[in-house]
Structure 1
Amino acid sequence: MKVKILPFLLVLLALMAFAPKPKLTATKLAPNLTVGVPATFVAMPDAGIAVKYPAPRKPLAVYTNPAGRVDFSVGTRPTTFESMDYGVLIKIYKSSIQRLYSKVEFLKEDIRTVNKRDFIFFEFVSTVTDSKRSGQLAPIKKYQMVQYAIDKQQVYIFTFDAPAEEQAQWQATAQAVMDGIVLK
């Protein structure tokens, strides 16, 4: 049985290697930060950000697909940590992610280098369930890819999220976006 699966997996892997790369537009967000935004995404206006991302500290930028179901956001927060603390921070950030959602299925977690910069990286599917006794709302499941990087007492948070049922459609794009971050 395993012998029959191996050739199939090799063919599938070869086909994926030649799949077209998502088209990204280089976008400068700060003097030291350039990101690759999917060509079909548009910048979300401030009013849309205030509704979809209500928080005291507005994200640096949010880009969304034409349907408004898939977002790429960039935020910053002050920090006293340094990049040499990534080994400890990966545990802290993982715990924070787990507290945000009813259930989290981590697909990948790592400290990785992108464009000569180290990032804390998570890929996961999150679920939020209605915790009220009378609540009959269906769970909300999202596919997410998140990277954190520290630069000059700031932590940069890069988040790509899509509906979980669209994971296969958006996974390569999310990876390309995360690989396109240039933080000098």
Structure 2
Amino acid sequence: MTKVNVTEEINMMIPSDFRLMTDDEMASRYFTTKKPVAIYTDQTVMVDLGINQSATEWIVDDLEIMVSFQKSNIYNFYDDIEMIDQGIKEVDGKKAAYFEFISTVKPEGKSFRSQSPVKKYTYIQYMIVGEHSWVFNFSSPVQLQSIWQPQVINIMNSVIFLKKKK
């Protein structure tokens, strides 16, 4: 693991062999109108760690409300969810909500090609700091879950928010 300055405000540990994803890789893998703060990927470009700042403003006391919205979004985004763990914990002295799950996305029914469902292991952590909510998202193919599951908790627990320089 290597300590990385994700932004001027955020430090965290990431796997040593991860690198920043290129803009072209981001565009081909993620369809979003707002560019994430950072997405790191492994050498195979199959395991990703994304950091993003939400456009919606929340206050720290709203974390439990935000969790219910985010849980609903997770269940609506995928065809099937097998929730492994979820809850609220403390990271860097701040409350963090998390969801750990296996998702399934089924292929389009009208496809001419025979495709298998795509299953991923995902760990998403939400933190509200100041007026902003931060999203830390780790995903890998489900076949790599046993390799990454022990490490992802250390990655997510390593997030540190630094004081802004004036």
Partner amino acid for 1:69?
M
In structure 1, the gaps of 5 or more residues are 1-23
- What does residue 153 of structure 2 align with? 175
Q: Distance in 2 between matches of 1:169 and 1:29?
A: 24
Q: How many residues are matched? A: 161
Q: Which residue of 2 aligns with 1:20?
A: none
> How high is the TM-score relative to the length of structure 2?
0.91
- Give the match's secondary structure for 1:68: coil
Q: Which has the higher helix share?
A: 1
Q: 1:157 aligns with which of 135, 155, 159?
A: 135
Per the alignment, residue 61 of structure 2 pairs with 84
1:52–1:131 Cα change, 3 Å: closer
Counterpart contact for 1:50–1:58, Cα < 8 Å? no
User: Which of the pair has more CA radius of gyration?
Assistant: 1
Percentage of identical aligned residues: 27
Q: Residues of 1 paired with 2:7 and 2:108: CA distance?
A: 40
Q: Which moved more, 1:118-127 or 1:150-159?
A: 150-159
Give the structure 1 partner of residue 78 of structure 2: 101
2:14 alignment counterpart? 37
- C-alpha deviation, 1:25, in angstroms: 1.0
Q: Helix, strand or coil for the counterpart of 1:79?
A: strand
Secondary structure in 1 matching 2:44: coil
Q: State whether residues 57 and 133 of structure 2, in contact with CA within 8 Å, keep that contact through their aligned partners in structure 1.
A: no
The structural deviation recorded for 1:150 is: 1.3
Match status 1:115 vs 2:92: yes
How far apart are the structure 2 equivalents of 1:180 and 1:74?
13
Gaps of 5+ in 2: none
- Identify the residue that residue 14 of structure 1 maps to in structure 2: none
CA RMSD of aligned residues (A): 1.3
Q: Deviations over 1:57-82 (max 9, x none)?
A: 01111111111110111011222321
CA distance in 2, matches of 1:155, 1:176: 20
Show the counterpart of 1:59: 36
Tell me the TM-score normalised to structure 1 length: 0.83
Aligned equivalents of 1:145, 1:94: Cα separation in 2: 12
